[in-house]
Amino acid sequence: MHRILSCLAVALTLNPASAWADCVDGSRARTAEEQEFGRKLSESLKAAMPAAPAPLWLEREPEVILSSNACKDTPVGAVEAIVTASYTASLNYSDRVQLMVRANFAYPKKNDLVLGALPPKPAGFKVHNLVVSIDGYNPQYMESVRQAIDRARLQALIDQPLPSTPAAAAWRVGNAQAPAAASAAAPEPAAAQATEAASPAPAPDPAQPDVAKQTKDAVRKLRGLLGQ
């Protein structure tokens, strides 16, 4: 089952129009209003994908599948869309988890998370339901992706006018947990050497003359002059 879902996602990514190509009476181009609704729906779904929970990381930007055509008998405003996001913890295939969200999807599987309800005759230009599928091999990684889903944000798209510009996405592409080589801890730089040599010790002051001795010598010389 995991392999089937993965192959289906790859096929849709490579040929997104094929999902709507089997029209009995042929297809028609989307109206301008349908195209604008599809743009809003695509951007909102892509922005609503969750950030990768550690130790997983997002391999590439989420991909949106939206057909530019519809079957001739498709009611105007009935727009479907699919968004997929691929998370991984390593380069091993078994460490990958794929998240898929379908808008206005009528065939959810047993383990899918279903938000909203698709009525028998859905009104056009609305998101009636979102079906979330998680595919992978590692149960722990699959559960961490399930817990990371922003259900409130997805729920806000259902039965509400879609924003012209969605709120900023929480996801980022790349492995944020891996230490970048450029940011590896560098050794502490050695202390800067002094730019000037240490000043030599000041020279001692010249010895001061012995005043008492000088006085005695002067007295002795004076007595000699006086003949004493």
Residues in Cβ contact with 222 at an 8 Å cutoff, skipping those fewer than 6 apart: none
In a domain, 191, yes or no: no
* Residue ranges in the chain assigned as alpha helix (H): 2-14, 32-47, 139-148, 151-155, 211-226
In a domain, 220, yes or no: no
In a domain, 41, yes or no: yes
Extract the tokens encoding 151.
């259900």
Extract the tokens encoding 63.
């991909």
Question: Can you tell me the mean pLDDT for 118-127?
Answer: 96
> What is the C-alpha separation between 129 and 101, in angstroms, rounded?
10
Please state whether the peptide bond connecting residue 55 to the residue before it is cis, i.e. omega within 30 degrees of 0: yes
Exposure letters 62-75 (e unless 16+ CB within 10 A, then b): bbbbbbeebbeebe
In a domain, 84, yes or no: yes
Q: Which residue has the tokens 């969605």?
A: 166
What spatial distance separates the first Cα and last Cα of the chain, rounded to whole Å?
Answer: 136
Please say whether the beta carbons of 12 and 4 come within 8 A: no
Q: Is 228 helix (H, G, I), strand (E, B) or coil?
A: coil
Which tens digit of pLDDT belongs to each residue from 190-202? 444 444 445 555 5
In a domain, 190, yes or no: no
In a domain, 79, yes or no: yes
Which tens digit of pLDDT belongs to each residue from 135-157? 999 999 999 999 999 999 999 99
> What is the C-alpha separation between 133 and 161, in angstroms, rounded?
24
In a domain, 142, yes or no: yes
C-alpha angle 129-57-16 in degrees, rounded to nearest 5: 45
Judged against a pLDDT cut of 90, whether residue 28 lies above it is answered with yes
How many domains does one find in the chain?
1
3-state helix, strand, coil in the chain (%, to 5): 30, 20, 50
Q: Is 212 helix (H, G, I), strand (E, B) or coil?
A: helix
Please say whether the beta carbons of 107 and 129 come within 8 A: no
Which tens digit of pLDDT belongs to each residue from 70-94? 999 999 999 999 999 999 999 999 9
In a domain, 17, yes or no: yes
Considering the entire predicted model, what is its pTM? 0.70
Domain limits for position 12: 2-176
